[in-house]
A and B are shown apart, each in its own frame.
Chain A
Protein backbone atom coordinates (compact mmCIF):
# COMPACT_ATOMS: atom_id res chain seq x y z
CA UNK A 1 0.00 0.00 0.00
CA UNK A 2 1.21 3.44 -0.91
CA UNK A 3 0.91 5.43 2.33
CA UNK A 4 3.14 8.41 1.82
CA UNK A 5 4.32 10.00 -1.40
CA UNK A 6 8.01 9.88 -2.17
CA UNK A 7 8.46 13.64 -2.01
CA UNK A 8 6.17 14.14 1.00
CA UNK A 9 3.29 15.78 -0.84
CA UNK A 10 -0.34 15.24 0.07
CA UNK A 11 -2.31 13.05 -2.33
CA UNK A 12 -4.18 16.02 -3.75
CA UNK A 13 -1.18 18.31 -3.76
CA UNK A 14 0.63 19.49 -6.88
CA UNK A 15 4.33 19.92 -7.38
CA UNK A 16 5.65 23.46 -7.43
CA UNK A 17 4.33 25.29 -10.49
CA UNK A 18 6.01 28.15 -12.22
CA UNK A 19 4.92 29.90 -15.42
CA UNK A 20 6.42 32.65 -17.49
CA UNK A 21 5.07 34.34 -20.60
CA UNK A 22 7.12 35.79 -23.44
CA UNK A 23 10.24 33.65 -23.25
CA UNK A 24 10.77 33.40 -27.02
CA UNK A 25 11.05 36.96 -28.25
CA UNK A 26 10.82 36.30 -31.98
CA UNK A 27 7.60 34.29 -31.74
CA UNK A 28 4.14 35.86 -31.76
CA UNK A 29 3.47 34.29 -28.40
CA UNK A 30 5.41 32.03 -26.07
CA UNK A 31 5.44 30.62 -22.59
CA UNK A 32 7.38 28.44 -20.19
CA UNK A 33 5.52 26.11 -17.85
CA UNK A 34 7.27 24.24 -15.11
CA UNK A 35 5.72 21.69 -12.77
CA UNK A 36 8.23 20.08 -10.43
CA UNK A 37 11.11 18.99 -12.60
CA UNK A 38 9.12 18.97 -15.84
CA UNK A 39 9.77 22.02 -17.98
CA UNK A 40 7.91 22.78 -21.20
CA UNK A 41 8.41 25.70 -23.55
CA UNK A 42 5.77 26.59 -26.12
CA UNK A 43 5.99 29.05 -28.98
CA UNK A 44 3.16 30.18 -31.24
CA UNK A 45 3.78 31.48 -34.75
CA UNK A 46 1.01 32.82 -36.88
CA UNK A 47 -1.69 33.18 -38.01
CA UNK A 48 0.27 32.86 -41.23
CA UNK A 49 -0.15 31.51 -44.74
CA UNK A 50 -0.53 27.77 -44.89
CA UNK A 51 1.47 25.66 -47.29
CA UNK A 52 1.10 23.07 -48.85
CA UNK A 53 -1.92 24.73 -50.35
CA UNK A 54 -4.16 21.65 -50.36
CA UNK A 55 -4.22 21.80 -46.56
CA UNK A 56 -5.83 25.23 -46.57
CA UNK A 57 -9.36 25.52 -45.31
CA UNK A 58 -11.30 28.49 -46.71
CA UNK A 59 -13.83 28.31 -43.89
CA UNK A 60 -11.48 28.55 -40.95
CA UNK A 61 -7.84 28.59 -39.99
CA UNK A 62 -6.22 25.43 -38.74
CA UNK A 63 -4.17 24.65 -35.69
CA UNK A 64 -0.97 22.67 -36.06
CA UNK A 65 0.88 21.40 -33.01
CA UNK A 66 4.31 19.94 -32.78
CA UNK A 67 5.53 18.25 -29.62
CA UNK A 68 9.17 17.42 -29.22
CA UNK A 69 11.39 16.20 -26.43
CA UNK A 70 14.90 17.55 -26.38
CA UNK A 71 17.53 14.85 -26.54
CA UNK A 72 18.87 15.71 -23.09
CA UNK A 73 15.47 15.97 -21.40
CA UNK A 74 15.60 12.45 -19.96
CA UNK A 75 18.28 10.35 -18.27
CA UNK A 76 19.17 8.42 -21.38
CA UNK A 77 19.60 10.42 -24.55
CA UNK A 78 16.60 10.19 -26.85
CA UNK A 79 17.06 10.28 -30.57
CA UNK A 80 16.09 13.71 -31.90
CA UNK A 81 13.34 14.05 -34.45
CA UNK A 82 9.79 12.83 -34.71
CA UNK A 83 8.86 9.49 -33.23
CA UNK A 84 5.66 7.49 -32.90
CA UNK A 85 5.19 8.84 -29.38
CA UNK A 86 5.75 12.49 -30.29
CA UNK A 87 3.36 12.21 -33.25
CA UNK A 88 0.68 10.90 -30.90
CA UNK A 89 1.22 13.62 -28.33
CA UNK A 90 1.22 16.31 -31.03
CA UNK A 91 -2.18 15.03 -32.09
CA UNK A 92 -3.70 14.91 -28.61
CA UNK A 93 -2.29 18.36 -27.82
CA UNK A 94 -3.94 19.72 -30.93
CA UNK A 95 -7.26 18.10 -30.01
CA UNK A 96 -7.00 19.38 -26.46
CA UNK A 97 -6.46 22.97 -27.60
CA UNK A 98 -8.89 23.01 -30.53
CA UNK A 99 -12.13 23.52 -28.52
CA UNK A 100 -10.55 26.55 -26.85
CA UNK A 101 -9.43 28.50 -29.91
CA UNK A 102 -11.56 30.28 -32.47
CA UNK A 103 -9.80 30.48 -35.84
CA UNK A 104 -12.77 31.44 -38.01
CA UNK A 105 -11.30 34.89 -38.48
CA UNK A 106 -8.28 33.48 -40.27
CA UNK A 107 -9.41 31.43 -43.27
CA UNK A 108 -6.67 29.65 -45.25
CA UNK A 109 -4.21 30.36 -42.46
CA UNK A 110 -2.40 28.26 -39.90
CA UNK A 111 -1.45 28.80 -36.29
CA UNK A 112 1.64 26.82 -35.46
CA UNK A 113 2.24 25.70 -31.89
CA UNK A 114 5.64 24.30 -31.04
CA UNK A 115 6.05 22.53 -27.72
CA UNK A 116 9.51 21.61 -26.56
CA UNK A 117 10.16 19.56 -23.45
CA UNK A 118 13.39 20.78 -21.91
CA UNK A 119 13.36 18.52 -18.88
CA UNK A 120 11.06 15.57 -18.32
CA UNK A 121 9.85 14.14 -15.03
CA UNK A 122 6.43 12.69 -16.00
CA UNK A 123 3.41 14.71 -17.05
CA UNK A 124 5.10 16.26 -20.07
CA UNK A 125 2.02 16.36 -22.29
CA UNK A 126 0.07 18.15 -19.54
CA UNK A 127 2.84 20.69 -19.03
CA UNK A 128 3.01 21.10 -22.81
CA UNK A 129 -0.71 21.83 -23.06
CA UNK A 130 -0.57 24.36 -20.19
CA UNK A 131 2.36 26.13 -21.85
CA UNK A 132 0.69 26.07 -25.28
CA UNK A 133 -2.50 27.58 -23.87
CA UNK A 134 -0.48 30.41 -22.32
CA UNK A 135 1.42 30.96 -25.55
CA UNK A 136 -1.80 31.11 -27.59
CA UNK A 137 -3.21 33.72 -25.22
CA UNK A 138 0.05 35.66 -25.42
CA UNK A 139 -0.11 35.60 -29.22
CA UNK A 140 -3.57 37.15 -29.09
CA UNK A 141 -5.33 34.28 -30.85
CA UNK A 142 -9.09 34.56 -30.19
CA UNK A 143 -9.90 32.04 -27.49
CA UNK A 144 -13.09 30.84 -25.86
CA UNK A 145 -11.34 29.60 -22.79
CA UNK A 146 -7.95 28.74 -21.33
CA UNK A 147 -6.82 25.12 -21.15
CA UNK A 148 -5.37 23.56 -18.01
CA UNK A 149 -4.03 20.03 -17.90
CA UNK A 150 -2.85 17.73 -15.16
CA UNK A 151 -2.36 14.01 -14.72
CA UNK A 152 -4.35 12.11 -12.13
CA UNK A 153 -4.04 8.43 -11.36
CA UNK A 154 -3.78 5.53 -9.02
CA UNK A 155 -0.49 4.53 -7.44
CA UNK A 156 -0.39 1.50 -5.17
CA UNK A 157 -4.16 1.65 -4.66
CA UNK A 158 -4.29 5.37 -3.84
CA UNK A 159 -5.98 7.98 -6.00
CA UNK A 160 -3.75 11.03 -6.45
CA UNK A 161 -2.82 13.90 -8.77
CA UNK A 162 0.33 15.00 -10.51
CA UNK A 163 2.39 11.83 -10.71
CA UNK A 164 6.13 12.17 -10.95
CA UNK A 165 8.50 9.74 -12.65
CA UNK A 166 8.98 7.64 -9.53
CA UNK A 167 5.25 7.19 -9.11
CA UNK A 168 4.71 6.47 -12.77
CA UNK A 169 7.20 3.59 -12.53
CA UNK A 170 5.97 2.40 -9.10
CA UNK A 171 6.28 -1.37 -8.80
CA UNK A 172 3.07 -1.84 -6.83
CA UNK A 173 1.00 -0.85 -9.85
CA UNK A 174 0.53 2.58 -11.32
CA UNK A 175 -2.20 4.13 -13.47
CA UNK A 176 -1.69 7.47 -15.16
CA UNK A 177 -4.59 9.51 -16.54
CA UNK A 178 -3.75 12.87 -18.18
CA UNK A 179 -6.73 15.24 -18.18
CA UNK A 180 -7.13 18.61 -19.89
CA UNK A 181 -9.90 20.93 -18.73
CA UNK A 182 -11.55 24.01 -20.12
CA UNK A 183 -12.24 25.57 -16.73
CA UNK A 184 -15.01 28.00 -17.58
CA UNK A 185 -16.94 25.67 -19.86
CA UNK A 186 -16.27 22.81 -17.49
CA UNK A 187 -15.38 20.54 -20.37
CA UNK A 188 -12.76 17.85 -20.74
CA UNK A 189 -10.72 18.09 -23.90
CA UNK A 190 -8.15 15.40 -23.23
CA UNK A 191 -8.57 12.12 -21.40
CA UNK A 192 -6.12 9.30 -21.77
CA UNK A 193 -5.67 6.28 -19.55
CA UNK A 194 -2.52 4.27 -19.12
CA UNK A 195 -3.33 1.39 -16.79
CA UNK A 196 -6.54 0.28 -15.17
CA UNK A 197 -9.04 1.95 -12.84
CA UNK A 198 -12.60 1.24 -11.72
CA UNK A 199 -15.45 3.58 -12.62
CA UNK A 200 -15.75 5.18 -9.18
CA UNK A 201 -11.98 5.57 -9.02
CA UNK A 202 -11.96 7.40 -12.34
CA UNK A 203 -14.70 9.74 -11.13
CA UNK A 204 -12.73 10.43 -7.96
CA UNK A 205 -9.55 11.06 -9.95
CA UNK A 206 -11.39 13.41 -12.29
CA UNK A 207 -12.72 15.40 -9.34
CA UNK A 208 -9.18 15.73 -8.00
CA UNK A 209 -7.89 16.77 -11.42
CA UNK A 210 -10.62 19.38 -11.77
CA UNK A 211 -9.70 20.95 -8.45
CA UNK A 212 -6.03 21.01 -9.42
CA UNK A 213 -6.84 22.67 -12.72
CA UNK A 214 -8.33 25.62 -10.86
CA UNK A 215 -4.98 26.06 -9.13
CA UNK A 216 -3.18 25.87 -12.48
CA UNK A 217 -5.51 28.49 -13.95
CA UNK A 218 -4.54 30.88 -11.17
CA UNK A 219 -0.86 30.36 -11.96
CA UNK A 220 -1.56 30.97 -15.65
CA UNK A 221 -3.50 34.14 -14.88
CA UNK A 222 -0.66 35.41 -12.71
CA UNK A 223 1.89 34.71 -15.44
CA UNK A 224 -0.12 36.62 -18.04
CA UNK A 225 -0.71 39.49 -15.63
CA UNK A 226 2.99 39.73 -14.93
CA UNK A 227 3.74 40.42 -18.57
CA UNK A 228 0.82 42.67 -19.43
CA UNK A 229 -0.26 44.45 -16.29
CA UNK A 230 2.76 46.35 -15.16
CA UNK A 231 2.64 47.54 -11.57
Chain B
Protein backbone atom coordinates (compact mmCIF):
# COMPACT_ATOMS: atom_id res chain seq x y z
CA UNK B 1 0.00 0.00 0.00
CA UNK B 2 1.05 3.56 -0.59
CA UNK B 3 3.97 4.78 -2.61
CA UNK B 4 6.32 2.16 -3.98
CA UNK B 5 8.89 4.41 -5.62
CA UNK B 6 10.18 7.55 -4.03
CA UNK B 7 9.66 11.12 -5.12
CA UNK B 8 12.09 12.25 -7.83
CA UNK B 9 12.86 8.69 -8.80
CA UNK B 10 13.38 7.67 -12.43
CA UNK B 11 10.69 5.39 -13.86
CA UNK B 12 10.18 3.63 -17.18
CA UNK B 13 6.81 2.71 -18.75
CA UNK B 14 5.07 -0.05 -16.82
CA UNK B 15 6.66 0.71 -13.45
CA UNK B 16 4.24 0.55 -10.54
CA UNK B 17 4.43 3.88 -8.70
CA UNK B 18 1.80 3.40 -6.00
CA UNK B 19 -0.68 0.84 -4.77
CA UNK B 20 -4.06 1.37 -3.22
CA UNK B 21 -6.61 4.13 -3.66
CA UNK B 22 -4.84 6.81 -1.62
CA UNK B 23 -3.36 8.46 -4.69
CA UNK B 24 -4.77 9.90 -7.89
CA UNK B 25 -3.16 9.63 -11.32
CA UNK B 26 -2.36 12.88 -13.16
CA UNK B 27 -0.08 13.67 -16.08
CA UNK B 28 1.55 10.71 -17.87
CA UNK B 29 0.48 8.09 -15.33
CA UNK B 30 -2.60 5.87 -15.36
CA UNK B 31 -4.53 3.58 -13.08
CA UNK B 32 -4.81 -0.14 -13.65
CA UNK B 33 -6.89 -1.85 -10.98
CA UNK B 34 -5.58 -0.59 -7.66
CA UNK B 35 -2.16 0.33 -9.01
CA UNK B 36 -0.84 3.58 -10.41
CA UNK B 37 1.52 3.00 -13.29
CA UNK B 38 3.99 5.13 -15.22
CA UNK B 39 3.09 5.58 -18.88
CA UNK B 40 6.35 7.18 -19.94
CA UNK B 41 9.95 7.78 -19.06
CA UNK B 42 10.03 10.44 -16.39
CA UNK B 43 10.71 11.62 -12.88
CA UNK B 44 8.02 10.94 -10.27
CA UNK B 45 6.48 14.02 -8.72
CA UNK B 46 4.03 13.68 -5.82
CA UNK B 47 1.82 16.64 -5.04
CA UNK B 48 -0.39 15.82 -2.05
CA UNK B 49 -2.48 12.97 -3.40
CA UNK B 50 -1.69 13.58 -7.04
CA UNK B 51 1.01 11.61 -8.76
CA UNK B 52 2.45 12.90 -11.99
CA UNK B 53 5.55 12.47 -14.10
CA UNK B 54 7.92 15.16 -15.19
CA UNK B 55 8.52 13.91 -18.73
CA UNK B 56 12.09 13.64 -19.98
CA UNK B 57 11.18 13.06 -23.60
CA UNK B 58 8.23 13.01 -25.92
CA UNK B 59 6.46 14.93 -28.62
CA UNK B 60 4.70 18.21 -27.98
CA UNK B 61 1.19 17.91 -26.53
CA UNK B 62 -0.93 21.00 -27.21
CA UNK B 63 -2.67 22.67 -24.28
CA UNK B 64 -5.00 25.67 -24.40
CA UNK B 65 -3.10 28.86 -23.61
CA UNK B 66 0.25 27.69 -24.97
CA UNK B 67 2.15 30.18 -27.10
CA UNK B 68 3.56 28.30 -30.08
CA UNK B 69 5.42 29.07 -33.27
CA UNK B 70 3.80 27.63 -36.36
CA UNK B 71 4.21 27.69 -40.10
CA UNK B 72 1.39 28.28 -42.57
CA UNK B 73 1.03 25.20 -44.74
CA UNK B 74 -2.41 25.70 -46.22
CA UNK B 75 -4.87 28.49 -46.85
CA UNK B 76 -8.56 27.71 -47.00
CA UNK B 77 -11.75 29.70 -47.46
CA UNK B 78 -12.08 30.65 -43.83
CA UNK B 79 -8.66 30.41 -42.36
CA UNK B 80 -5.14 29.11 -42.35
CA UNK B 81 -3.72 25.69 -41.42
CA UNK B 82 -0.52 25.76 -39.43
CA UNK B 83 2.10 23.15 -38.70
CA UNK B 84 2.93 23.43 -35.01
CA UNK B 85 5.04 20.29 -34.68
CA UNK B 86 2.12 18.08 -33.75
CA UNK B 87 0.67 15.16 -35.68
CA UNK B 88 -2.41 17.22 -36.64
CA UNK B 89 -2.50 20.64 -38.22
CA UNK B 90 -3.83 23.59 -36.22
CA UNK B 91 -6.49 25.93 -37.54
CA UNK B 92 -6.39 29.71 -37.42
CA UNK B 93 -9.75 31.04 -38.50
CA UNK B 94 -10.21 34.41 -40.20
CA UNK B 95 -12.08 35.71 -37.18
CA UNK B 96 -9.15 35.01 -34.85
CA UNK B 97 -6.44 35.78 -37.39
CA UNK B 98 -6.85 39.48 -37.85
CA UNK B 99 -8.78 42.34 -36.34
CA UNK B 100 -9.25 43.88 -39.80
CA UNK B 101 -12.56 43.56 -41.57
CA UNK B 102 -11.99 40.83 -44.14
CA UNK B 103 -14.52 40.58 -46.91
CA UNK B 104 -15.81 37.22 -48.02
CA UNK B 105 -13.82 35.52 -50.78
CA UNK B 106 -10.96 37.94 -50.33
CA UNK B 107 -7.40 36.80 -50.76
CA UNK B 108 -6.25 35.53 -47.36
CA UNK B 109 -2.62 35.29 -48.41
CA UNK B 110 -2.47 39.09 -48.10
CA UNK B 111 -2.42 38.58 -44.36
CA UNK B 112 -0.48 35.37 -43.91
CA UNK B 113 1.05 33.65 -46.90
CA UNK B 114 2.31 30.12 -47.37
CA UNK B 115 5.47 29.32 -45.35
CA UNK B 116 5.03 32.34 -43.08
CA UNK B 117 5.96 31.76 -39.47
CA UNK B 118 3.59 33.06 -36.83
CA UNK B 119 3.74 33.36 -33.09
CA UNK B 120 0.27 32.26 -32.08
CA UNK B 121 -1.62 31.06 -29.06
CA UNK B 122 -3.67 27.91 -28.75
CA UNK B 123 -7.19 28.94 -27.80
CA UNK B 124 -8.84 25.57 -27.74
CA UNK B 125 -8.05 21.88 -28.10
CA UNK B 126 -11.13 19.95 -29.11
CA UNK B 127 -11.95 16.28 -29.38
CA UNK B 128 -10.03 14.48 -32.08
CA UNK B 129 -7.17 16.93 -31.62
CA UNK B 130 -8.77 19.80 -33.47
CA UNK B 131 -6.61 22.73 -32.47
CA UNK B 132 -7.83 26.31 -32.67
CA UNK B 133 -5.33 29.14 -32.75
CA UNK B 134 -5.69 32.83 -32.16
CA UNK B 135 -3.59 35.87 -33.02
CA UNK B 136 -5.29 38.05 -30.45
CA UNK B 137 -3.04 38.60 -27.48
CA UNK B 138 0.14 40.20 -26.35
CA UNK B 139 3.24 39.54 -28.44
CA UNK B 140 1.48 37.44 -31.08
CA UNK B 141 2.62 38.35 -34.56
CA UNK B 142 3.88 37.32 -37.95
CA UNK B 143 7.65 36.85 -38.00
CA UNK B 144 9.49 38.97 -40.55
CA UNK B 145 13.16 38.36 -39.81
CA UNK B 146 15.42 36.28 -37.59
CA UNK B 147 15.86 32.53 -37.52
CA UNK B 148 14.00 29.61 -35.98
CA UNK B 149 15.66 26.64 -34.34
CA UNK B 150 14.17 23.40 -33.04
CA UNK B 151 14.70 22.19 -29.49
CA UNK B 152 13.24 19.24 -27.62
CA UNK B 153 9.81 20.28 -26.22
CA UNK B 154 10.69 18.67 -22.87
CA UNK B 155 13.60 21.13 -22.52
CA UNK B 156 11.49 24.24 -23.07
CA UNK B 157 10.86 24.87 -19.32
CA UNK B 158 14.63 24.92 -18.75
CA UNK B 159 15.21 27.44 -21.53
CA UNK B 160 12.57 29.71 -20.07
CA UNK B 161 13.75 29.16 -16.51
CA UNK B 162 12.00 29.87 -13.25
CA UNK B 163 9.59 32.73 -13.86
CA UNK B 164 11.39 33.44 -17.10
CA UNK B 165 14.78 34.00 -15.45
CA UNK B 166 16.85 32.20 -18.07
CA UNK B 167 15.17 33.73 -21.09
CA UNK B 168 15.45 37.21 -19.57
CA UNK B 169 19.15 36.60 -19.01
CA UNK B 170 19.62 35.49 -22.61
CA UNK B 171 17.77 38.52 -23.91
CA UNK B 172 19.68 40.97 -21.72
CA UNK B 173 23.15 39.61 -22.41
CA UNK B 174 22.75 39.15 -26.14
CA UNK B 175 20.46 42.03 -27.04
CA UNK B 176 18.47 39.70 -29.27
CA UNK B 177 14.75 39.30 -29.49
CA UNK B 178 13.93 35.75 -28.47
CA UNK B 179 10.62 33.95 -28.35
CA UNK B 180 10.31 30.39 -27.14
CA UNK B 181 7.29 28.44 -28.37
CA UNK B 182 6.02 25.69 -26.09
CA UNK B 183 6.23 23.36 -29.09
CA UNK B 184 10.02 23.52 -29.11
CA UNK B 185 10.52 26.18 -31.76
CA UNK B 186 12.66 29.14 -30.76
CA UNK B 187 12.71 32.37 -32.73
CA UNK B 188 15.82 34.53 -32.45
CA UNK B 189 16.31 37.89 -34.07
CA UNK B 190 19.30 40.15 -33.64
CA UNK B 191 22.99 40.52 -34.38
CA UNK B 192 24.36 38.00 -31.91
CA UNK B 193 22.03 35.16 -32.78
CA UNK B 194 24.87 32.65 -33.17
CA UNK B 195 25.86 33.10 -29.54
CA UNK B 196 22.27 32.59 -28.45
CA UNK B 197 22.00 29.35 -30.42
CA UNK B 198 25.19 28.17 -28.77
CA UNK B 199 23.75 29.05 -25.37
CA UNK B 200 20.48 27.27 -26.06
CA UNK B 201 22.29 24.15 -27.21
CA UNK B 202 24.29 24.30 -23.98
CA UNK B 203 21.10 24.48 -21.93
CA UNK B 204 19.68 21.53 -23.85
CA UNK B 205 22.79 19.46 -23.30
CA UNK B 206 23.35 20.25 -19.65
CA UNK B 207 19.80 20.94 -18.49
CA UNK B 208 20.20 18.55 -15.57
CA UNK B 209 23.35 20.17 -14.16
CA UNK B 210 23.45 23.03 -11.70
CA UNK B 211 25.36 26.24 -12.29
CA UNK B 212 23.88 26.68 -15.72
CA UNK B 213 23.23 30.38 -15.25
CA UNK B 214 26.92 31.10 -14.58
CA UNK B 215 27.94 29.15 -17.65
CA UNK B 216 25.51 31.10 -19.82
CA UNK B 217 26.76 34.38 -18.38
CA UNK B 218 30.34 33.36 -19.17
CA UNK B 219 29.45 32.25 -22.68
CA UNK B 220 27.61 35.43 -23.53
CA UNK B 221 30.29 37.62 -21.99
CA UNK B 222 28.37 38.98 -19.05
CA UNK B 223 29.86 39.87 -15.72
Contacts and interface: CB of A to CB of B under 8 A. Distances in A.
Contacts of B209: 230
B58 A102 contact: no
Interface stretch (B6-14, B93-101, B134-142, B174-182): B6-14
A229 interface: yes
A87 interface: no
Contacts of A146: 12-14
Interface string B65-97: 000000000000000000000011100000000
A140 B55 contact: yes
A29 B57 contact: yes
B87 A140 contact: no
B220 interface: no
A224 B41 contact: yes
B59 A228 contact: no
Given A47-B87, A106-B129, A108-B87, A144 B39 contact: yes
Contacts of A182: 14
B49 interface: no
B30 interface: yes
Interface string B110-130: 000000000000000000110
B36 interface: no
A144 B129 contact: no
Given A224-B12, A225-B10, A144 B87 contact: no
A73 interface: no
A197 B163 CA distance: 64
A195 interface: no
A102 B87 contact: no
Interface in A189-223: 220-221
Nearest to B30: A144
Interface string A130-171: 000000011111111110000000000000000000000000
B37 interface: yes
Contacts of B56: 140, 228
B194 to A, nearest CB: 21
B205 to A, nearest CB: 10
Interface residues of B, number: 27
A109 interface: yes
Contacts of A221: 12
B16 A184 contact: yes
Contacts of B32: 144, 185
B223 to A, nearest CB: 29
A48 interface: yes
B87 A61 contact: yes
B183 interface: no
A109 B12 contact: no
Contacts of B154: 140
Contacts of A230: 208-209
Nearest to A58: B128
A47 B30 CA distance: 20
A107 B128 contact: yes
A143 B87 contact: no
B10 A228 contact: yes
Interface of B: 10, 12-16, 28, 30, 32, 37, 39-41, 55-59, 61, 87-89, 128-129, 154, 208-209
Given A58-B128, A137-B13, A142-B40, 7 more contacts: A49-B89, A61-B87, A108-B88, A185-B32, A228-B10, A228-B41, A230-B209
